[in-house]
A = this chain, B = another copy of it.
Amino acid sequence: METLYVSRYEAIGLNVTEVRALKSADNASLVEYLVEAIVDGVMEHRYAPGQRLIATDLAEEFNVSRAPVREALHVLAGEGVVELVANRGARIRKLTLKERIDFLEFTEALCMLGVRRGTDRIEKGDNREKLDDTFVEIEEAWSRRHAGDFVDSLYRYHIMLNHISGNNFVEFFYRRPYIRFYTIMLADLTPGGHWDEYISNYREIHQIILTGNQKKAVERFSRHISWVLSFMESENVNLN
């Protein structure tokens, strides 16, 4: 039964084992594979923001026909990762500074839910250990001053916190391609010395979460958000 899929997948250069793994993993179709591949391409800076994506070329690159490529491009357009204009094809979206700042505000606001619910459940299972491990990765990336890894580990911290909180929608949301896309674009924000205060805030908040004191955690995170909003506001002055 599995082997029947091979004919469709080997066109893109996957061998039988890989195809089986792919299929059993998530029942992925070529389209899902292409969506992943294109997003990965952006993550790895192989496709630059603003760059045009030509269906024919992608089809050739992945050794498939234009049909699944077009379907994938439509998915990504719905996601806001590419911009799709009728009869003019697709481009990787270019995010303005304003868009990236708005997104940062958005995720910070969302993280509050994780803080609220997460503190309630931090005692259960190995939640405390898992969350703490992820925070270590943040600290580690920060000590290396690696913007990409820093943003990435923060992203995983948020996911972990919301996973602990037990709200599946938040997790579903965080894993969407456009969230990954927006998140990676935050790495270019580099708002100078502000990150110093940013991570110091998170360090405090993380410690409070570990104690399981919801009231204190919410209060501290609320102050953090106010701070984010205020410095964003000032940062924003000289921009569109």
Q: Which A residues are within 8 Å of any B CB, using their own CB?
A: 23, 27-29, 31, 35, 67, 70-72, 74-75, 77-80, 84-86, 98-99, 102-103, 105-106, 109-110, 112-113, 116-117, 167-170, 172-173, 176-177, 182, 218, 222, 225-226, 229
**Which of B79, B86, B168, B218 has a CB less than 8 Å from the CB of A27?**
B86
A103 with B169: CB separation less than 8 A: yes
A168 touches B98 (CB 8 A): yes
CA distance A175 to B109 in the complex (A): 18
Within the complex, which residue of B80, B169, B218 is in contact with A99, where a contact is CB–CB below 8 Å? B169
Q: Which residue of B lies closest to A214 (CB)?
A: B226
Which residues of B have CB within 8 Å of A168?
Answer: 98-99, 102
Q: List 18 A-B contacts (CB under 8 A).
A: A28-B86, A31-B74, A35-B78, A67-B70, A70-B71, A72-B74, A75-B77, A78-B177, A102-B170, A105-B113, A105-B169, A106-B167, A106-B169, A106-B170, A109-B109, A110-B110, A112-B112, A169-B182
- When distances are taken between beta carbons in the complex, the residues of chain B under 8 Å from A116 are 109, 225-226, 229
A72-B29 Cα distance, complex, nearest whole Å:
15
Looking at A27, A98, A105, the one whose CB has the most chain B CB atoms below 10 A away is A105
Copies in the complex: 2
- Min CB distance, A186 to chain B, in Å? 12
The interface residues of chain B lying within 8 Å CB-to-CB of A222 are 218, 222
4 further contact pairs, Cβ within 8 A, besides A67-B70, A98-B168, A116-B226? A74-B75, A75-B78, A102-B168, A169-B182
Residue of B nearest to A85 (CB): B27
Q: How far is it, in angstroms, between the C-alpha of A112 and the C-alpha of B222 when the chains are bound?
A: 10
A106: chain B residues within 8 A (beta carbon): 110, 113, 167, 169-170, 173
User: For residue A78, which residues in chain B have a CB less than 8 angstroms away from its CB?
Assistant: 35, 75, 78-79, 176-177
Q: Which 6 A-B pairs have the closest CB atoms?
A: A109-B113, A102-B169, A75-B78, A71-B74, A29-B86, A102-B167
Q: Using Cβ atoms and an 8 Å threshold, which residues of chain B touch A169? A: 99, 102-103, 105-106, 182
